[in-house]
Amino acid sequence: MRINENFLKLPGSYLFSEIGRRVAAYGAANPEKSLIKLGIGDVTRPLPAAVLEAMHKAVDEMGRSETFRGYGPEQGYDFLREAIVEYDYARRGVTLDADEVFVSDGAKSDCGNIVDLFGLDNVVAVCDPVYPVYVDTNAMAGRAGEYNEQTGMWSGYHYMPCTAENGFSPEIPNCKVDLIYLCFPNNPTGAVATREQLKAWVDYANANDAVILFDSAYEAFITQKEIPHSIYEIEGAKTCAIEFRSFSKTAGFTGTRCAYTVVPKQLRRGGASLNAMWNRRQCTKFNGVPYVTQRGAEAVYSEAGRKQVKENLAYYQKNAKVIFDGLKGAGLTVSGGVNSPYIWCKTPNGMGSWEFFDLLLNRANVVTTPGAGFGPSGEGYIRLTAFGDAAATEEAVARIKAIL
């Protein structure tokens, strides 16, 4: 037999597993140290009360034969798909049909699984730095070419550097690419895209028979009114874009698992409907998100749920400001954090990303994410998340300041 040898080309381990390994090793060697984790973007606020209540009720339903549910629809229950269409889209002026929304167990899984739909010879365009899932999953599928240890880049990708010089905004390719990954508000830089910038991407994709894979998992953190939350706010996007959303960072579902992907029915490539293809893929490989979880997600849109989620977001937004202002006050160059839970921070004195990561881990006992882990253009940066406990976040900033 032959294995999928593309897996053998992947460098080392997945970024967050590698950080976890280093942090665990440090913790084991220094059990007396109290570590503050601002590394992986994992939330700390508990589930909103409205979500809990709905889940408890749903658990009770599962315990009675009259209300018990077995397999649900692979695409998600209508009650949740309809709530998504109404609250996340219609109220922002975007019209979608419920059957354009596919409920799933996570935006990470969907971003990885969506590559099933596309031919292996498509050219993939990714930002640099980038959320590593886009890069690694296409590499697993065999779309990345060869990995170069020296440059940290794959031969098959079209890289779009996002640097301080271009305001961390990728430039439209001057060649033909087929699959374009965009993430706004961006992970890891925290940058956002304006309406005009997104319009240019939509026009490019429609003109070049390309598809935009738009990850808007962090849209709820947008504070500036003029910044679009969805790619579908841009005219023409329904014929070229797939959008990924998540309940993880808004309603604290990182452990509960619920997200969704929008594949418009107008989106066709190679003579086929991508909506129909994704539906076929999900029906074959996925049995849907648990009923209890979907009832919890539905409650995010109730009046109480929306209020509680807003409070959670405000809590994290305050943390973002504490990190941003604190590090800036300490003389560091920072960006992001305003429309995003991520703060992108330049390392001092030209220090390498991993070197600064190690310094902060060892001397301040603060866990961050080295920018280089997101791609070569992330070298010289670290990322901090605003998802921590408020007091711990203040303490982390004080500790970092103290060692600079």
216 contacts ligand MLT (rule: CB under 6 A)? no
Q: Which two tokens stand for residue 198?
A: 């997104």
In the 3-class helix/strand/coil scheme, how is 290-302 assigned residue by residue?
CHHHHHHHHHCCC
CB of 401 to ligand MLT, least distance (A): 23
CA 12 to chain centre: 22
Cα three-residue angle 333-343-374, rounded to 5 degrees = 100
Closer residue to ligand MLT in complex, CB, 227/259: 259
CB of 41 to ligand MLT, least distance (A): 3
CB of 377 to ligand MLT, least distance (A): 16
Closer residue to ligand MLT in complex, CB, 96/289: 289
CB of 268 to ligand MLT, least distance (A): 30
Residues between 299 and 318 that touch ligand MLT (CB under 6 A)? none
d(CA 311, CA 256) in angstroms, rounded, equals 19
Residue 71 CB burial class (10 angstroms; 0-12, 13-18, ≥19): exposed
Closer residue to ligand MLT in complex, CB, 103/107: 107
Map residue 345 onto helix, strand or coil: strand
CB of 367 to ligand MLT, least distance (A): 11
CB of 215 to ligand MLT, least distance (A): 10
Closer residue to ligand MLT in complex, CB, 40/141: 40
- Alpha helix locations (H) across 86-164? 107-113, 132-141
CB of 272 to ligand MLT, least distance (A): 29
Residues between 123 and 152 that touch ligand MLT (CB under 6 A)? 131
Closer residue to ligand MLT in complex, CB, 216/248: 248
Cα distances (angstroms) measured from residue 381 to each of 40, 163, 339, 350, 373? 15, 10, 19, 9, 10
Cβ distance 360 to 353 under 8 Å?
Answer: no
In the 3-class helix/strand/coil scheme, how is 176-204 assigned residue by residue?
CCCEEEEECCCCCCCCCCCHHHHHHHHHH
Closest chain position to ligand MLT (CB): 41
Closer residue to ligand MLT in complex, CB, 217/327: 217
CB neighbours (10 Å) of residue 4?
9
CB of 402 to ligand MLT, least distance (A): 25
Contact residue for ligand MLT among 50, 89, 102, 108 (CB under 6 A)? 108
Q: In sequence order, which residues have a C-beta less than 8 Å from that of residue 137 and are 6 or more positions away?
A: 111, 112, 115
Among the listed residues 145, 252, 188, the one whose alpha carbon sits nearest the alpha carbon of residue 15: 188
d(CA 404, CA 401) in angstroms, rounded, equals 5
CB of 106 to ligand MLT, least distance (A): 8
Contact residue for ligand MLT among 75, 113, 138, 187 (CB under 6 A)? 187
Closer residue to ligand MLT in complex, CB, 184/204: 184
Closer residue to ligand MLT in complex, CB, 108/269: 108
Site string for ligand MLT, 245-264 (x = CB under 6 A): ---x----------------
Closer residue to ligand MLT in complex, CB, 264/337: 337
CB of 220 to ligand MLT, least distance (A): 14
d(CA 257, CA 217) in angstroms, rounded, equals 13
Please state whether the peptide bond connecting residue 46 to the residue before it is cis, i.e. omega within 30 degrees of 0. no
d(CA 401, CA 362) in angstroms, rounded, equals 14
Contact residue for ligand MLT among 19, 37, 38, 41 (CB under 6 A)? 41
40 contacts ligand MLT (rule: CB under 6 A)? yes
List phi, psi (to 5°) of 266: -75, -10
Query: Residue 256, CB half-sphere, CA atoms under 13 Å: how many?
Result: 26
Closer residue to ligand MLT in complex, CB, 204/324: 324
Closer residue to ligand MLT in complex, CB, 14/315: 14
10 contacts ligand MLT (rule: CB under 6 A)? no
Rounded to 10 degrees, what is the CA torsion of 287, 292, 298, 299? -170
Residues that bind ligand MLT (CB under 6 A): 40-41, 108, 131, 187, 248
